[in-house]
Structure 1
Amino acid sequence: MYDSGVKLVNDYTIIHSGLPSDNKTRNAHGVAICLDQTAAKVWKDSGSEWEAISERILKIRLKCSPIHMTVISIYAPVNPSNNLMADACDKFYEDLQETVNKISKEDMVVIMGDYNARVEEKQTNVCQCIGPFTVDKD
């Protein structure tokens, strides 16, 4: 289904998920998490737990002290401008929510990656955690 796996490249462990190589086009998607030697040791000592949810979502779990951590790498679709893209966008967010719902409530959750946010003109009266560039125009 997905071209996913774990590869050692020099001193880095790369966990990845994407479309199979026979299905790749310029529009292919993929995600990865790159661990240095220290993080890779923690991940391996934690049981090397990872899951390729899709070509856009990848999850790993690190058993840390004092709290375990689940890291989700994402490559979000661009906000839809037509119904075909809207279905793909909805599927992505449904898969992401389902992934988050399955994580232990005791874990710290980090979601990182490319959210494909559009940056437009500066806005006022916007929550500072989002930032002033939140307009989405078609």
Structure 2
Amino acid sequence: MCLGRCRKSLNTGSLNVRSIRSDFQKRELASDAAKYKLDILGVQSHHLAGSDVIQIRPDDNKGRYDFFYTGPANNTRHGVGILVESSFKAEFKEISERVITARINIEKHSEQQPWDRDRFYDEVQEALNEAKNRDILILAGDMNAKTGDSHHDYPQCVGRYGKGKTNNNGTQLVECALRNNLVLTNTMFKHKMSHRTTWECPQRRDQHNDQKSGEIRRNPYRNQIDYILVKNSHMKLVTNARAYSGTRTYPDHRLVKTTLTLQWYKLNSNAKKTKQIDVSKLQAQQNRQTYQREVSRCIQSLNIQDLEPQEKWTKLTTVFQNVALEVVGYIVESVMSEYGKP
């Protein structure tokens, strides 16, 4: 994917919309994408027949999106699509009625029929095989897959923050992720449960009884079944991933959003060498104990419980660096004589 140098991040999303047949619903979808500053949005269950590329503007007419969709030609059930900011000039390709790709290194799909799961993942694999090694690969969709406890067996691709127990669809999704070195981004970040779950039962809460006590449930049934996956090597670019429930399209699925930070490095042969902290001095027991004591004291004084993961990481790394600088200082370079010896 070719991105302008001024772009600092890439926001991707996935949303099951439960029909956007009318022009009003399409504008609402574009408005949701603009509201959450999404560059790319995978769309499932749009209920549009056939395949086409259309342009959609939000209600405020600020911005423009290209929407490529595909679905069964003889009815308006199901269907998948990709909404992309028009400035990307994406090249779209249809693999099947359930799998499509956009040549901005994103593969989009949705599963609708569990009995045809093997064929579906064969089509997904075909799409993944077309990606090049240098591509930023993003796989997004409503997978109908629960991977809640898969972290214990597959920590390399599933995070600690899932929900529930793994089902058959979840097992197949995890196996696909393992084969292709992918990571389920929205299981990797610690958020409250309402920001992890991506689907809520549309029935009213008073129609739900708790399976153990038989009493009316306090909350409706919720699951985490929509995912955005990236390559393991690109997880260092992902700063956050979570679900949002404030969309205007009112589906039973929640919007899943993953943010990637894109850093452009400028080669400069005349750049000054960055000073490095002399971590070798921490091997001395006295320095190490002093460092540990000061870090503990500083962390206890921080109030980071309600911060986003990226903000927590920034504050903690600042503490580590400042304390290390106070305890051991920078590496002192040896003064070289005219004969090249210190």
- Output the TM-score relative to the length of structure 1: 0.66
- Partner residue of 1:71 out of 69, 85, 106: 106
Equivalent position of 1:18 in the other structure: 71
- Partner residue of 2:86 out of 20, 25, 40: 40
- Relative distance call for 1:71 and 1:124 in structure 2 (3 A) is closer
Would you say the 8 A contact 1:29–1:55 is kept in 2?
A: no
> Secondary structure in 2 aligned to 1:108?
coil
Cα distance in 1 for residues equivalent to 2:111 and 2:87: 29
Please tell me the root mean square deviation across aligned C-alpha atoms, in Å.
Answer: 2.6
After superposition, where does 1:76-95 map in structure 2 within 5 Å? 76-78=111-113, 80=114, 85=115, 88-95=116-123
Give the strand-richer structure, 1 or 2: 1
- TM-aligned CA deviation for residue 114 of structure 1: 0.5
1:52-89 Cα offsets, whole Å, 9 max, x none, are: 11111110012xxxxxxx111111235x4xxxx2xx21
Would you say the 8 A contact 2:51–2:69 is kept in 1?
A: yes
Equivalent position of 1:65 in the other structure: none
Give the helix-richer structure, 1 or 2: 2
- Relative distance call for 1:133 and 1:49 in structure 2 (3 A) is same
- Relative distance call for 1:125 and 1:18 in structure 2 (3 A) is closer
1:75-111 Cα offsets, whole Å, 9 max, x none, are: 1235x4xxxx2xx211110011111112112111100
Cα distance in 1 for residues equivalent to 2:68 and 2:151: 40
- Runs of 4+ off more than 4 Å: 122-125
Cα distance in 1 for residues equivalent to 2:164 and 2:93: 33
- TM-aligned CA deviation for residue 115 of structure 1: 0.8
Cα distance in 2 for residues equivalent to 1:76 and 1:134: 19
Q: How many residues align?
A: 109
Task: State which structure, 1 or 2, has the greater radius of gyration over its C-alpha atoms.
Answer: 2
- Output the TM-score relative to the length of structure 2: 0.29
Cα distance in 1 for residues equivalent to 2:71 and 2:124: 16
